[in-house]
């Protein structure tokens, strides 16, 4: 197996992009990543497109085939990867394995979703199709509903409080104001959403005990990366050897990845608060990278709901169970803290176009490890980053450990 | 051309007596303070300047809502509507939203429109709630008839309160009216009606001093910009 590096990264601003089709967004993000690496379009061997809802939302299938044509990347191989909200990371993993195997050299991975052309109800319903088709969906379960029940259990078992959830929400929305790619660029005020009587209206209950600002927005967006063998990435860097790309940027090694699954329904798990797939995916990624949680400088966790940032920060090993919420309140997950989490604003503020999210997390960590971000979001001298892309309600999870390559 | 006041006396509808809406202040999710106060007739030209750029925004039916609101406010300004009122929200003096309606008769209110000029802060919800508060608590009406033109409005009014469906035609046309009753209003009030009185003097003075409005591009960006806030 060859070592594989990310040599190009691109993203388009998330939000509500009424003027763009799904294909437009995928193409824009792809071109940004290809431009970032300076790779000629005939050099792409394969394209993997992450998308969850195109068939339901846009009545469109064979999306990858359409994209290679749009980008004139023929005869590159092309596949669409659907794995719920973890589609993005699944596509990155598929690209990683294709390059690591030695079969392909240059692979474009792009994730995108266009969710805002339907009402929030429809979008919520589309996302809910990932739930169990007999045991859950027919009874009206939604992902926010599931997250509400999970939060209640987590509160009872580990003492998580609304104040702790609030700390995550305030942090991530504050970071969103610093991220030009974020869907929500609006800082929240604790008084307005928590302390004052107006908070009842400003921040209503969405899925008890979760409130409006505990949930990520429904977004349109796309993100892309270009990957290749590490040795070719090194050759491109500085142009020491012949190479098909002219990138002068620092390559980022995909040092480790892990993926694990769990029961589709929460109630079948021995302990519904135990996100085993998160733990296993992260463990596998750390083992492959020969690193441990304490080595990570910055992380992008899947905070579709504020509780998930807290729970994942514990399950990947940054904090002990029951300590994640306290750490958030203590500022340990902010820039300059023990382990900065979601400096992009996370799903909470950057947004959650489901097929794009897993790729966008990788893009944000690549920018961190290249030291390209403004100092208000940049972890100084960041060398190692972690992403966790959470599919279903923790029944299909992928984690990546990324490493800055010093040349 | 000077007004023929003799003819005007015929054309101008006789108004029901209307208690004033006492101003209140609401802290928004971003910490900013929004003053909600009743517009005076002479405020209309300034308000219309903020409504005008919305006429050209198709997104979320802003064009329809603002075109109708524009006409309704103009008609009020020129004394062609019976017992109309307008409430407005101001943040730092800037106009961020407008709602209007009128008294159909002494017992029944007719909700007209809700226009949020800044988005993502539930400004429309707060202003609509203030409108219902006015009908129920200050005009002491029995019910308010309401229709929605956008899916967002439908969710905010019909679902969130929730309103009861009727077969009564609404003045704005379209579908049959939904109705807010006193029972529905007072049941919904704890979770939907916010704000405190009196408004601190400095905030009130700022709001009264001038109705500020953002430039057209800023308004369009806030409503229809990429972020869709």
Contacts of B229 in chain A (CB under 8 A): 184-186
Is the residue at A56 inside a domain? yes
pLDDT for B93-110, tens place per residue? 999 999 999 999 999 999
Determine the longest span between alpha carbons in chain A, in angstroms: 66
Chain A within 8 Å of B26 (Cβ-Cβ)? yes
Is the residue at A108 inside a domain? yes
| Contact present, B36 and B126 (Cβ < 8 Å) | yes
Determine if the peptide bond prior to A7 is cis (ω within 30°).
no
Share in percent of chain B as helix, strand, coil (round to 5): 40, 20, 35
* Partner-chain contact B30 A116, CB within 8 Å: no
Q: How many CB pairs under 8 A join A and B?
A: 74
Does the structure show a pLDDT above 80 at A245?
no
Nearest to B227 among A183, A187, A192 (CB): A183
The CATH number assigned to the domain holding A32 equals: 3.40.47.10
Residue from B25, B26, B27 to probe the interface with A (highest A Cβ count within 10 Å): B27
Average pLDDT over residues A12-19: 94
Is the residue at A227 inside a domain? yes
User: Quick one: closest CA in B to A188, which residue?
Assistant: B30
Does the structure show a pLDDT above 60 at B49?
yes
pLDDT for A323-351, tens place per residue? 999 999 999 999 999 999 999 999 999 99
Token pair in block for residue A115: 């969710």
Predicted confidence at residue A239, as pLDDT, reads 43
Helix axes A22-37, A63-70, angle to 10 degrees: 60
Q: Using CA atoms, how far apart are residues A288 and A296, in angstroms rounded to an integer?
A: 14
Q: Using CA atoms, how far apart are residues B200 and B47, in angstroms rounded to an integer?
A: 23
Q: Is the dihedral of CA B31, A305, A367, A183 positive or negative?
A: negative
Chain A within 8 Å of B159 (Cβ-Cβ)? no
- In chain B the domains, ranked by start, together with CATH numbers, are 21-224 (3.40.630.30)
Contacts of B191 in chain A (CB under 8 A): 200-201, 204
* φ/ψ (deg, to 5) at A246: -115, 25
Predicted confidence at residue B225, as pLDDT, reads 63
Is the residue at A281 inside a domain? no
Q: Using CA atoms, how far apart are residues A359 and A223, in angstroms rounded to an integer?
A: 6
Q: Using CA atoms, how far apart are residues A402 and B18, in angstroms rounded to an integer?
A: 67
Determine the longest span between alpha carbons in chain B, in angstroms: 52
Contacts of A192 in chain B (CB under 8 A): 27-32
The number of CA neighbours under 13 Å toward the Cβ of A297 is 19
* A240: confidence class by pLDDT, cuts 50, 70, 90: very low
What's the number of domains chain A is made of? 1
Chain A within 8 Å of B192 (Cβ-Cβ)? yes
Alpha-carbon gap: A105 to the closest alpha carbon of chain B (Å): 36
Residue from A198, A211, A222 to probe the interface with B (highest B Cβ count within 10 Å): A198
Alpha-carbon gap: A117 to the closest alpha carbon of chain B (Å): 11
Does the structure show a pLDDT above 80 at A256?
yes
* Partner-chain contact B194 A200, CB within 8 Å: yes
Name the helix (H) or strand (E) containing B145: strand B143-146
Question: Among B193, B196, B215, B156, which residue's Cα sits nearest to residue B33?
Answer: B196
The predicted model scores a pTM of: 0.94
Containing domain of residue A225, as a range? Answer: 4-119+218-239
Q: What is the 3-state secondary structure (H, E, C) of B150-219?
A: CHHHHHHHHHCCCCEECCCCCCCCCCCCEEEEHHHHHHHHHHHCCCECCCCHHHHHHHHHCCECCCHHHH
Strand order in the sheet with A107-114: A77-81, A46-50, A107-114, A220-229, A4-11, A252-261, A396-404, A384-391, A298-300
Chain A within 8 Å of B193 (Cβ-Cβ)? yes
Q: Using CA atoms, how far apart are residues B98 and A352, in angstroms rounded to an integer?
A: 31
Question: Among B32, B178, B56, B157, which residue's Cα sits nearest to residue B99?
Answer: B157
Strands (E), A94-219: 107-114, 205-207, 210-211
């Amino acid at each position: 197996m060859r070592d594989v590096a990310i040599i190009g990264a691109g993203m388009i601003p998330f939000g509500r992009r009424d003027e763009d089709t799904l294909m437009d967004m995928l193409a824009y993000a792809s071109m940004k990543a290809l431009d970032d690496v300076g790779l000629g379009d005939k050099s792409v061997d394969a394209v993997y497109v992450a998308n969850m809802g195109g068939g339901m939302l846009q009545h469109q299938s064979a999306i990858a085939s359409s994209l290679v044509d749009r980008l004139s990347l023929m005869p590159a191989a092309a596949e669409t990867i659907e794995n719920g909200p973890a589609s993005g990371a699944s596509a990155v993993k598929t690209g990683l394995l294709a390059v690591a195997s030695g079969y392909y050299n240059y692979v474009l991975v792009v994730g995108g979703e266009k969710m805002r052309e339907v009402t929030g109800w429809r979008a919520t319903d589309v996302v809910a199709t990932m739930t169990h088709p007999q045991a859950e969906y027919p009874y009206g379960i939604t992902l926010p509903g599931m997250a509400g029940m999970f939060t209640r259990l987590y509160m009872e078992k580990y003492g998580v409080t609304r104040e702790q959830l609030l700390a995550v929400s305030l942090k991530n929305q504050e970071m969103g104001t610093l991220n030009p790619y974020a869907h929500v660029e609006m800082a929240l005020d604790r008084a307005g959403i928590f302390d004052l009587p107006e908070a009842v209206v400003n921040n209503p209950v969405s899925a008890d005990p979760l409130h409006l600002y505990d949930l990520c927005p429904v977004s349109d967006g796309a993100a892309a990366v270009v990957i290749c063998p590490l040795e070719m990435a090194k050759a491109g860097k500085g142009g020491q050897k012949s190479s098909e790309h002219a990138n002068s940027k620092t390559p980022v090694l995909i040092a480790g990845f892990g993926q694990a699954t769990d029961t589709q329904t929460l109630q079948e798990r021995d302990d519904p608060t135990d996100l085993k797939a998160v733990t296993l995916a992260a463990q596998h990624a750390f083992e492959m990278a020969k690193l441990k949680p304490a080595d990570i400088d910055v992380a992008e966790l899947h905070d579709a709901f504020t509780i998930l940032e807290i729970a994942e920060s514990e399950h990947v090993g940054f904090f002990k169970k029951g300590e994640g919420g306290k750490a958030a309140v203590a500022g340990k997950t902010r820039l300059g803290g023990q382990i900065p989490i979601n400096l992009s604003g996370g799903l909470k503020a950057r947004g959650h176009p489901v097929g794009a999210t897993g790729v966008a997390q990788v893009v944000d960590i690549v920018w961190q490890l290249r030291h390209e971000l403004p100092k208000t979001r940049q972890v100084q001298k960041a060398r190692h980053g972690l992403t966790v892309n959470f599919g279903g309600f923790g029944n299909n999870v992928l984690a990546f450990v990324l490493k800055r390559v010093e040349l | 051309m000077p007004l023929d006041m003799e003819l005007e006396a015929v054309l101008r509808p006789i108004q029901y007596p209307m208690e004033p809406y006492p101003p209140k202040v609401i802290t928004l999710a971003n910490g900013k303070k929004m003053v909600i106060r009743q517009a005076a007739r002479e405020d209309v030209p300034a308000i219309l300047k903020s409504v005008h750029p919305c006429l050209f925004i198709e997104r979320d039916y802003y064009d329809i809502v603002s075109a109708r609101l524009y006409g309704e406010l103009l008609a009020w300004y020129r004394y062609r509507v019976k017992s109309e009122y307008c409430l407005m929200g101001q943040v730092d003096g800037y106009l961020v939203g407008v709602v209007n309606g009128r008294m159909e008769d002494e017992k029944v209110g007719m909700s007209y429109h809700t226009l949020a000029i800044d988005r993502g802060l539930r400004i429309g919800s707060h202003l609509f709630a203030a409108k219902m508060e006015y009908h129920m608590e200050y005009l002491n009406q029995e019910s308010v008839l309401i229709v929605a033109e956008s899916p967002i409005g439908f969710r905010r009014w019909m679902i969130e309160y929730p309103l009861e469906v009727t077969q009564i035609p609404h003045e704005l046309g379209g579908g049959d009216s939904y109705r807010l009753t006193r029972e529905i209003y007072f049941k919904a009030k704890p979770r939907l009606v916010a704000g405190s009185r009196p408004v601190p003097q400095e905030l009130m003075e700022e709001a009264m001093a001038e109705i500020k409005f953002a430039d057209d591009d800023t308004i369009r960006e806030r409503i229809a910009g990429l972020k869709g806030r």
